[in-house]
Copies of this chain bind each other. A is one copy, B any other.
């Protein structure tokens, strides 16, 4: 095994092409075997094997800076930079991250997780280098999907302007997570599939040469042709217009070509874009045939068939599924309902909705900012748009949520999936901040369902609400509760008391309601009688409930799967303070003021103290309950 001897990038520097090809084979086998045990991103890593080998042979990491966009294609990079032995801990609590991470290796140059950041980060590195008068190389590796993100364009525009040395490797596998959207995607396809487009340069030169002696006027014309056509004579003129030297497209699994072009890129001055075509799932038939399905795999999948592990007991409905089904039901009754998502068609569940209502479903690609303002425009045009987006990606559309949705008080529903701790993807993907960052925005209604039945009713409530409304729900599924047959709108700003009690009130939001219920049951043992309230709404708060609790002098615990800083607990305290109600004993439970790493969701919740035991513990130590009751 060659792989056994590879511990740093320097170990591959002198390998021959044959050896590199053998190593590629071994790495693929290593990935397939390891991911079958741990789960993880699959297709994108299999597709980037040769590309990563070539990068590490031609460039000198960490002196040269290789920056991975999104980072879910960096497993091979991790293998080559001394982290083979960590693969059994991949994405596990306290184990190796699924993304590049500066704290993990000197070869990881920029922490990632979200798309389209690599060119900006690389430009930062390149500009720092230029100011210092250093001469190392800077390389951004970005997928075709990430190229649709506006910030990638902003960075290209700036890079073309500065003109400094940097290489952008466009790793084009014709899809991001799902097949790509947009004009850029069509453009790349054209570059890939039209051979005349690529070979045209030669023909043009020959043609012009052939007629090169036809008199003065024609010669001048030809010169003008040559000049003006200069940017056209290579196929990637769109990138050339941005001031980049375009190389490619080349086959990203053909090592000799990769090495040749990368060497050429290294010697070219100014910004260079190398267009590399790869196949997602390359070398593993199942993944290559269904790249969408095999983007990310669960541990225990069948290596031969690619099947997901068998689930033994019938699972309660998963939120993406329920979201799709409910959207279809609602859209059947209301022709104004439309759905938008920035590249989360499969993840959000909307892919199912799209099959039924293709003309009312818009996947705008990785373009969060546009998705929110597009939704605002649809609302202005009389539609009832539902924007499906993960909590962490909504951060990308924050200004648009304020400036385009909230200021105009438009009836846009934001279905915030993956709100709270998402687990194995770690810091970059946790949905910790949505309550805090939306709560300060006027006109927004914010809610969270306690279970799948309430989810369905909330979505119904949302699409019939006259202003901006956000509903946040966790990764995963419901609790297996009975489902209502009829839709019934929930009263805005009203909570639901799910357990009466006289010693303490636990005000719980969304995923924390069942935790609070279990805690209340456990507290009975200690002689503590806890009231449990399903708050449903963070904004507006149920003021009647709060005034009532104040009248009773009830101690309060608030609990939410979101940042404690600025969260629902703060909202409750603000309410009392603004109403000059003093002396309440309130403890706000929520996510602590730190970035929560990767791990199993339950492990992480235990880690941050958002579980039944923590609630029980806290309530027990609150101001002496017994005494007051006596």
Would you call A566 and B577 a contact (CB within 8 A)?
A: no
Of B241, B395, B402, B574, the contact of A403 (CB 8 Å cutoff): B395
Of B123, B376, B574, the contact of A570 (CB 8 Å cutoff): B574
A226 within 8 A of B: no
Bound: A182/B163 CA distance, A: 10
Q: Which residues of B contact A197 (CB under 8 A)?
A: 228
Q: How far is the CB of A103 from chain B (nearest CB, A)?
A: 9
Of B153, B160, B428, B436, the contact of A436 (CB 8 Å cutoff): B436
If A122-B377, A404-B117, A582-B585 touch, does A399 touch B398 (CB 8 Å cutoff)? yes
Q: Which residues of B contact A242 (CB under 8 A)?
A: 183-184, 187
Q: How far is the CB of A238 from chain B (nearest CB, A)?
A: 5
Would you call B432 and A380 a contact (CB within 8 A)?
A: no
Closest residue of chain B to A183, judged by CB?
A: B160
A193 within 8 A of B: no
The contact string, 1 if C-beta is below 8 Å from chain B, for chain A 129-140, is 111100000000
Would you call B124 and A376 a contact (CB within 8 A)?
A: yes
Would you call A573 and B573 a contact (CB within 8 A)?
A: yes
The contact string, 1 if C-beta is below 8 Å from chain B, for chain A 574-612, is 100110101111111000011100000000000000000
Q: Which residues of B contact A124 (CB under 8 A)?
A: 373-381, 383, 385
Closest residue of chain B to A370, judged by CB?
A: B154
A261 within 8 A of B: no
A406-440 interface with B by 8 A CB criterion: 406-408, 427-428, 432-433, 436-437, 439-440
The contact string, 1 if C-beta is below 8 Å from chain B, for chain A 542-578, is 0000000000000000000001111101110110011
Closest residue of chain B to A124, judged by CB?
A: B377
A145-168 interface with B by 8 A CB criterion: 148-161
Q: Which residues of B contact A370 (CB under 8 A)?
A: 120, 151, 154-155, 158
Of B128, B403, B571, the contact of A378 (CB 8 Å cutoff): B128
The contact string, 1 if C-beta is below 8 Å from chain B, for chain A 244-284, is 00000000000000000000000000000000000000000
A109 within 8 A of B: yes
Closest residue of chain B to A357, judged by CB?
A: B131
Stretch at the interface among A7-15, A20-28, A361-369: A361-369
Q: How far is the CB of A549 from chain B (nearest CB, A)?
A: 14
The contact string, 1 if C-beta is below 8 Å from chain B, for chain A 333-364, is 00100100000000000000000000110101
Closest residue of chain B to A111, judged by CB?
A: B408
A105-130 interface with B by 8 A CB criterion: 109-111, 113-114, 117, 120-125, 127-130
Of B156, B158, B365, B406, the contact of A158 (CB 8 Å cutoff): B365
A47 within 8 A of B: no
A186 within 8 A of B: yes
Q: Which residues of B contact A365 (CB under 8 A)?
A: 154, 157-158, 161
Would you call B238 and A125 a contact (CB within 8 A)?
A: no
Q: Which residues of B contact A224 (CB under 8 A)?
A: 196, 200, 203
Bound: A437/B117 CA distance, A: 21
Residue of A186, A187, A237, A373 most packed against chain B (CB within 10 A): A373
Closest residue of chain B to A576, judged by CB?
A: B573
Would you call A433 and B428 a contact (CB within 8 A)?
A: no
Would you call B369 and A123 a contact (CB within 8 A)?
A: no
Q: How far is the CB of A182 from chain B (nearest CB, A)?
A: 4
Would you call A196 and B228 a contact (CB within 8 A)?
A: yes
Bound: A439/B567 CA distance, A: 11
Q: Which residues of B contact A128 (CB under 8 A)?
A: 338, 377-378, 380-383
If A127-B381, A161-B186 touch, does A574 touch B574 (CB 8 Å cutoff)? no
Would you call A151 and B588 a contact (CB within 8 A)?
A: no
Would you call A203 and B183 a contact (CB within 8 A)?
A: no
If A381-B128, A403-B395, A440-B432 touch, does A183 touch B243 (CB 8 Å cutoff)? yes
Would you call B439 and A408 a contact (CB within 8 A)?
A: no
Can you show 16 pairs from A to B with CB atoms below 8 A apart?
Answer: A110-B408, A113-B403, A121-B377, A123-B377, A131-B338, A148-B157, A154-B369, A157-B181, A395-B402, A396-B398, A436-B440, A564-B574, A570-B570, A574-B588, A578-B587, A582-B586
Given contacts A123-B374, A150-B369, A403-B428, 4 further A-B contacts (CB under 8 A): A131-B360, A154-B367, A392-B399, A582-B585
9 smallest beta-carbon distances between A and B, as pairs: A124-B377, A150-B150, A128-B381, A160-B183, A566-B566, A154-B367, A154-B370, A395-B399, A120-B373
Q: Which residues of A does B touch, CB under 8 Å?
A: 102, 109-111, 113-114, 117, 120-125, 127-132, 148-161, 181-187, 196-197, 200, 203-204, 207, 211, 218, 221, 224-225, 228-229, 232, 237-238, 241-243, 335, 338, 359-360, 362, 364-365, 367-370, 373-383, 385, 392-393, 395-396, 398-400, 402-404, 406-408, 427-428, 432-433, 436-437, 439-443, 563-567, 569-571, 573-574, 577-578, 580, 582-588, 593-595, 622-623
